Structure 1
């Protein structure tokens, strides 16, 4: 009977063990890259989300929005069409933006118009309604963005 030396067993097992170690390392690197991608997307989405919250916060505290804040809002949501789905992009670039423009119109008509102008009271009422609607958008924004902002592992 031929006796096989223990080094033959070690030699035979070395290649499969090294292949298994290499496959494990490759898998871990792939998972790390996937998690990095999720984090990068989260950071970019958070930038858009925060730009909207900043605009809503400014509106809530000042009752109006200036041109500087409007520019910050528009530049902040610019990447939304690629980072979020079409529903969120449409909400930010059309629905919410149109209400911001409406608020500015009512603001202008209330403060730059004559006090005795018959349209003034209408614009005061419309401005109040628009402000209420905009302030209520915090929760709507959270609901629309929630599925994109989860980092689940």
Structure 2
């Protein structure tokens, strides 16, 4: 056997190994791209929630436009975070936002026991909503960590 036959016999496995390594690296790149895309989608939902909480903290309520922005910003939560986070956003947080709106409106009524009740309830709901900065962060922290 001549040396060209040896090189030819060794060359094919080397080329196959290089091709396998390239394919492996491409799969890693694709997986990391998917992680980044998912992170971006999750961050959009996270930002919509934080923006709504910020407006509530600054203004004491959300305008109709801000409520719409919240609903639009969180509509994909089920698909990018899962059912637990979606339930929290759709049921717990959204219902408190609506309650705050009700109590804000009813606390403008003339003096009386009903107005006093709504002022107290508004304060409770407002405190709960401010606490959601920490609670929401804790709920979604595992989803927003970039790990390799």
Quickly name the TM-score band, shorter chain normalised. Answer: over 0.9
TM (normalized to structure 2)?
0.97
Q: Max radius of gyration: which structure?
A: 1
Structure 2: which 5+ runs fail to align? none
What is the Cα deviation at residue 128 of structure 1?
A: 0.8
Residue in structure 2 matching 1:149, options 141, 144, 147 = 144
Equivalent residue number for residue 27 of structure 2: 30
Equivalent residue number for residue 50 of structure 2: 53
Equivalent residue number for residue 133 of structure 2: 138
5 Å matches for 1:64-143? 64-111=61-108, 113-114=109-110, 116-143=111-138
What is the Cα deviation at residue 110 of structure 1?
A: 1.1
Query: What RMSD in Å do the two structures reach over aligned CA positions?
Result: 0.9
Q: d(CA) in 2 for partners of 1:49 and 1:93? A: 14
Q: d(CA) in 1 for partners of 2:65 and 2:122? A: 20
Runs of 4+ aligned structure 1 residues displaced above 4 Å come to none
TM (normalized to structure 1)?
0.94
What is the Cα deviation at residue 6 of structure 1?
A: 2.4
Structure 1: which 5+ runs fail to align? none
> How many pairs are equivalent?
148
